[in-house]
Structure 1
Amino acid sequence: MIVEKIAHLIASNRMPAKRIAAITFTNKAAKEMRERVAKRIRGDAADGLTICTFHALGLKFLQIEHAKAGLRRGFSIFDADDSTAQIKDLLPAGSKPDVIDAVKGLISRAKNAGLSPEEAMREARTPREIEAATVYDLYQQRLSSFNAVDFDDLIRLPVQLLEADEDMCLAWRERIGYLLVDECQDTNDAQYRLLKALAGPRGLFTCVGDDDQSIYAWRGANPDNLLQLGSDYPTLRIVKLEQNYRCSNRVLRAANTLIANNPHEHLKTLWSDQPDGERIRIWECRDAAHEAEKVAAEIQFIAASTCAPWSDFCLLFRGNFQSRALEKALQLQRVPYHLSGGTAFLDRGEVKDVLSWLRLLANPDDDAAFLRAVQAPKREVGAGTLAKLAELAAHAHMPMARAIENVGALKQLPPRAANALDSFATLVRQLRAKSAHATPAELVGEVAERSGLLASVRAQCKDEASFQRRKANIDELAGWFEGARNAGPGELAAQLALLSHADKGEPGNQVRLMSLHAAKGLEFRYVFIVGMEDGTLPHEASLDEGRLDEERRLLYVGITRAKERLWLSYSKRAERWGEVLRLKPSRFLDELPATEIQRDGADPVADAENKKARADAGFAAIRALLDG
């Protein structure tokens, strides 16, 4: 839809491409949108068009307006690990991980709401919120001393500047004449305010969103932003896109009936020209192990009887803990699978450490890379020393990596730390000289060895097998650079650092296992949703707090991932902490239309036919095995 609107704007001469910006949430979505635009708009008509994520747009803004944001050119961006390390250092020594995560989450939530540290303190009510607001203020001071921002600042700071400076706002509205926003229901308050600031009172924008697929409130998304648009822009035209091109009509009727239990400002009814397909199956199982066995056996049967590839199947669950029984059952059936949500390759510690060294070798002005590299592996340089070094570097108007080359600066630091930093500077110079004639792949190995990273990894590992696994990650990183002889290590490292796990392509011919949150935007012929019990889906916390709407939207998203067939299953009991618990089927099952579902035991004839078909398939598999 957005691609067609872009084509219309350009073809009708309503807006030149260089003044159009299409904003989405992931690098992968932006890449796909650019590819579609390239196919739709030929020649140079789309030159200058901006298609990027919210954060990429914020970064572009700050690179242009860095001085007004209190930043120096070449500022650094802290990733999640960098931010966690600083917040941990600002909290009392010995703070537990859950406390660190809670404070970090509250700071992020404040930034996503567009709040400054002072505003966050005014709104703080609980002791934890007051503590987080205090740390937020100190954290921002430290970011400033490091000439750095974090990802949340990429939205918060532009909003702060645009709302405070009318001339700047007018200039940016001239630069971006028309905005298109994808997945608008997932915007947080700061992103919505950025949209409003750039669109201005004329409201030259198109937003695409589905209030029924707003499932990210836990990370700041505000589904009410879609409703707020109508209030802020009274002449807003609502166009309902109700035809679904993915699902069978039976699946859509079930989804429509379920989601009708949520309040709606704009009612819609999805429909499809696809056939009805088979009824939705609801399975009652003894426990999670029995449930997993049934799912694995059904997948094996369908794959064998229809020759469907494994990639046609998806297993969805509410929480990652539910994957264990499923993995075991699939392994016993020898069904290949891919579990989404594991640690992405580029997020592994040793990989990020090597990348920070490569970034620093390529760009001495990269303070974020310096801060990670100087502590990978650990040296006798603490956070306090680094904060002092950042102040000295800022006073001298130079990056931290250049400041440690200055004898005067080192003399103002503790002797042991100064010696460690001097040795570090010498090593960086040597490796930078090596990078002039080594291939990027060779440089990865050189950095891992000479920096002490490999030795540090070995010391951390309890056995040789775990060391070899982590060393293999570094070797794989070197493999990514093979053949890239014309690009510098800094350029390649920057490109890799911008990627997310989803950007590296989908798994091959494997059954997909993932959480319902991770499934948004995907589609599969056969979908199984397990754990349909009260306390799991809907989640126990939502039951306690009376927040069922988002849980219902989550199931709605899961149901509409199924193109042809859908299974919903629940367990009668579970064993937790040595106690057997009786479970209740999810209340959402009773909200599905009875005409579209088939429960176990409700149709004895159909159940008998299914049982016979599976028995025949099992015997056929045994005969084939014996014949072989």
Structure 2
Amino acid sequence: SVLRDCVSVTNFHGLSTRIFRAHARVIGLDPEMEQPESDWVREQCLRWGWGWDQIISAEGALRRAKQQGLNDVEVEELLRRRRATGALKLERQRLTENRLTYDDLPRVAELILANDSVASLYRSHFGAVIVDEFQDLTPQQLRIVNRIGLGRTTYAGDLAQGIYGFAGAQPAQIDAAIRSECSTVIEFAESHRSSPAVLSMVNSLNKMTGGLTLTSARPDSWPGGGLAAGVRFNNPSEEGRWAVGFARYILDRAPQQRIGVICRTAPRRETVDAIADQSGLPVYRWDDGVLDTETAKIMKAMLVRLNAVEALASADPLLYLRESAALGAVADTDTRRFMADALLWCLDKLRDGMTPAQIHGRIKVGDQNTLLTAPGLHLLSGHVGKGQQFDWVIVVGAEDGVIPDWRSTTEASKLEDARVLSVMLSRARHGVVVTFAVRIADRYGRVRTKQGTPYFAQLRAASFTDAAGVQAFMQSADWDAIETR
């Protein structure tokens, strides 16, 4: 009760919404403007039938423009100068509809807080500010924090976990700024979550990630000291069969274990996904929504009667899906938001060639806690898994060109990919195995020869074993102790 009365817990979009609704008129805007209940930008792109390259380009141009603290006129002028025609079309449509997007919320909050009277009001209201995951802050978000709590803010985070550069985060710049603000730095380098073997893998990347050297709080409590390994395969099919077999071996002996199969990109994981789907194991895809009961019920009913050809051929496929699901009749705000996200996901799958029946089969009923606690095999990408934990992790597809990504051409982007790898490794408690394939077919069927990620040079300096070492560890492991650890 006391905490509820004295502490406000929010994310940046929630805080920005609060500021906008209370003070929009300070910058000449209508506080009743349409607020985002879903990703309007992506939805609008799909309505116009844009391809993925055009969508990604427009979304990026808008995000970069709106993180600069510009008003509407200045945003439009910047997009025009940069000849960002797709982004400019979206921005004009947004203004026509008198709405805000997710990128607009922190933008307008920053503009409002530039007013000293409003900023003073919030500084008086909040005696202190705590920011979690500081490495994920954009410079714009830090400017918002500083207007409210400069000199009275506590920051918590880990540079090695900074993997959102694509969204505007700048970990090194933010770290330097907050170190100049804060007089005290407290470092926590003792891990209670991961085995010594896993920590040795994570620590091996520290020179690239900026992370601290972590030690196990209770190294003797981990059966066998944990597992860290790298395994080479001829092709993704061989890799996938091995990964699913690894998971089956564990679950047969310790049924409550959670095994994460994580890849830098979802497409490279497709072979593992297909093999896992036929395995009979409990499988959870993190890039599919695990929907709450009410949303799942509406979606499944809609998919049973959905004509996919007619939906995709309609003038507005997303509106077609919304009307098919009777979204307009849903009164509950949370259910509307969940439904909007689910329908956007559904349209993505339809455009990728999936049938309504296949999408229907991918819908699992539950809530986010189902993903967080369910034993079994979990399939996810590197960014989706940030902040989560599994008993075992297999990092698949660790080829040069996947990690670092072939589009990572600058030193900064390559270092961020090293942090993505560190995040994937550090999801593991007992053990982690990094795998790659040397022959991979592209989408045209041409087989390419690949090398393992150049980061293997660092990983091999850790407590690192091979396929034979994995087999020996598994056969000698105390599975009763592992199950209860």
Pair 1:322-2:268 in alignment: yes
The equivalences for 1:495-574 within 5 A come to 502=368, 506=372, 508-543=374-409, 547-574=413-440
Task: Work out which of the residue numbers 160, 173, 179 in structure 2 matches 1:230.
Answer: 179
> How far apart are residue 135 of structure 1 and its match?
3.3
> How far apart are residue 194 of structure 1 and its match?
0.6
The equivalences for 1:244-323 within 5 A come to 244-262=191-209, 264=210, 268-275=212-219, 277-304=225-252, 306-309=253-256, 311-323=257-269
- Change in CA separation of 1:95 and 1:196 when aligned onto 2, cut-off 3 Å: same
Distance 2:62 2:462 in 1: 48
Distance 1:608 1:246 in 2: 24
Instruction: Report if the CA contact (8 A) 1:229-1:236 is conserved.
Output: no
Instruction: Report if the CA contact (8 A) 1:283-1:568 is conserved.
Output: yes
Instruction: Report if the CA contact (8 A) 1:117-1:136 is conserved.
Output: no
Name the residue aligned to 2:124. 174
Name the residue aligned to 1:339. 285
Name the residue aligned to 2:113. 162
Name the residue aligned to 2:339. none
> How far apart are residue 533 of structure 1 and its match?
0.9
SS in 2 for 1:284: strand
Task: Work out which of the residue numbers 424, 442, 451 in structure 2 matches 1:584.
Answer: 451
Instruction: Give the gaps of 5 or more residues in structure 2.
Output: 303-317, 337-342, 478-485
- Change in CA separation of 1:176 and 1:598 when aligned onto 2, cut-off 3 Å: same
Instruction: Give the gaps of 5 or more residues in structure 1.
Output: 1-42, 355-371, 379-427, 445-452, 481-500, 615-628
Instruction: Report if the CA contact (8 A) 2:79-2:88 is conserved.
Output: no
Task: Work out which of the residue numbers 9, 17, 27 in structure 2 matches 1:51.
Answer: 9
Distance 2:359 2:450 in 1: 40
TM-score (norm 1): 0.61
Letter matched to residue 66 of structure 2: K
Pair 1:150-2:101 in alignment: yes
- Change in CA separation of 1:113 and 1:537 when aligned onto 2, cut-off 3 Å: same
> How far apart are residue 279 of structure 1 and its match?
4.2
Letter matched to residue 204 of structure 2: T
Name the residue aligned to 2:144. 194
- Change in CA separation of 1:281 and 1:320 when aligned onto 2, cut-off 3 Å: same
Distance 2:401 2:359 in 1: 37
Query: Could you say which structure has the larger radius of gyration?
Result: 1
Distance 1:468 1:256 in 2: 42
> How far apart are residue 77 of structure 1 and its match?
1.0
Letter matched to residue 535 of structure 1: G
> How far apart are residue 538 of structure 1 and its match?
1.5
SS in 2 for 1:519: coil
Distance 1:162 1:612 in 2: 61
> How far apart are residue 613 of structure 1 and its match?
8.2
Distance 1:345 1:175 in 2: 37
Distance 1:533 1:117 in 2: 43
Instruction: Report if the CA contact (8 A) 1:121-1:133 is conserved.
Output: no
SS in 1 for 2:154: strand
C-alpha RMSD of matched pairs (Å):
4.0
Instruction: Report if the CA contact (8 A) 1:532-1:570 is conserved.
Output: yes
Instruction: Report if the CA contact (8 A) 1:110-1:116 is conserved.
Output: no
- Change in CA separation of 1:125 and 1:597 when aligned onto 2, cut-off 3 Å: farther
> How far apart are residue 286 of structure 1 and its match?
0.9
Bigger relative contact order, structure 1 or 2, given CA contacts below 8 A and separation 6+? 2
SS in 1 for 2:230: strand
Instruction: Report if the CA contact (8 A) 1:213-1:554 is conserved.
Output: yes
SS in 1 for 2:24: coil
Name the residue aligned to 2:60. 105
Name the residue aligned to 2:26. 68
> How far apart are residue 329 of structure 1 and its match?
2.5
- Change in CA separation of 1:332 and 1:472 when aligned onto 2, cut-off 3 Å: closer
> How far apart are residue 295 of structure 1 and its match?
1.2
SS in 2 for 1:158: helix
Letter matched to residue 282 of structure 2: P
Distance 1:126 1:72 in 2: 27
- Change in CA separation of 1:261 and 1:539 when aligned onto 2, cut-off 3 Å: same
Instruction: Report if the CA contact (8 A) 1:78-1:150 is conserved.
Output: yes
Letter matched to residue 25 of structure 2: A
Instruction: Report if the CA contact (8 A) 1:114-1:189 is conserved.
Output: no
Distance 2:373 2:67 in 1: 32
Distance 1:132 1:140 in 2: 12
SS in 1 for 2:384: helix
Per-residue CA deviation, residues 446-484 of structure 1 (Å, 9 max, x unaligned), is: xxxxxxx9xxx9xx99xxx938977998xx99xx9xxxx
> How far apart are residue 590 of structure 1 and its match?
1.0
> How far apart are residue 127 of structure 1 and its match?
5.4
Pair 1:115-2:70 in alignment: yes
- Change in CA separation of 1:471 and 1:595 when aligned onto 2, cut-off 3 Å: closer
Letter matched to residue 103 of structure 1: A
Percent of residue pairs identical = 21
- Change in CA separation of 1:85 and 1:228 when aligned onto 2, cut-off 3 Å: same
> How far apart are residue 88 of structure 1 and its match?
7.2
> How far apart are residue 272 of structure 1 and its match?
1.5
Instruction: Report if the CA contact (8 A) 1:249-1:273 is conserved.
Output: no
Letter matched to residue 438 of structure 2: K
Instruction: Report if the CA contact (8 A) 1:552-1:588 is conserved.
Output: yes
Letter matched to residue 148 of structure 2: L
Distance 2:88 2:275 in 1: 48
Distance 1:472 1:597 in 2: 36
> How far apart are residue 157 of structure 1 and its match?
0.6
> How far apart are residue 514 of structure 1 and its match?
0.6
Name the residue aligned to 1:399. none
Letter matched to residue 435 of structure 2: S
Name the residue aligned to 1:242. 189
Name the residue aligned to 1:401. none
SS in 1 for 2:239: helix
> How far apart are residue 543 of structure 1 and its match?
4.7
